[in-house]
Structure 1
């Protein structure tokens, strides 16, 4: 039995499918490190097989972290940036979609 059979989690493919379902989002990058952009502005990018970097407005970031502390983190290198890391092996799928939605709204302006 795989983890996917008994525990909800998010795969890189899930991230890509959801991001690409949003208007004007295009996939760029490489096979191993894809990114999703709207109007050439970053929405999300796969950092490694378990981590996705997602752009979010700074004023929304703290509420995301508070609501989904197991799904997201902000490493020191990102503290001043409009970004969170989503940890796919433990992320709530709704949380990842909400963060991608925030990124899309911010970048589609």
Structure 2
């Protein structure tokens, strides 16, 4: 999965707007973070805490939770090894959580 794939999927969701910078774009709905590109290979995705553990367990190569994110509704996705369907699922979960 590429950053362009992420952008295309995020921007296909109702109400999502691109913000951030060229180097570090982010997508928001109602001014609430959905997903952000931290570097060319790493995304930060907001996901409900109650869904995060299962998502990471099903796709351990795609997702990780570094210590700085443990208390937050966030997961990292590693684009160079990511399962594209799993990343889209995480972005969809974030979008659903943030639009309510």
Give the TM-score normalised by structure 2.
0.99
1:89 aligns with 2:80: yes
Give the CA deviation at 1:72: 0.2
Cα deviation 1:4-56 (Å, max 9, x = unaligned):
xxxxxx10110011000000000000000000000000000000000000000
| Gap regions ≥5 residues in structure 2 | none
Segments of 4+ moved more than 4 angstroms? none
Corresponding residue of 1:24: 15
- Number of residue equivalences: 100
| Gap regions ≥5 residues in structure 1 | 1-9
Work out the CA distance in 1 between the residues paired with 2:7 and 2:49.
23
Corresponding residue of 2:24: 33
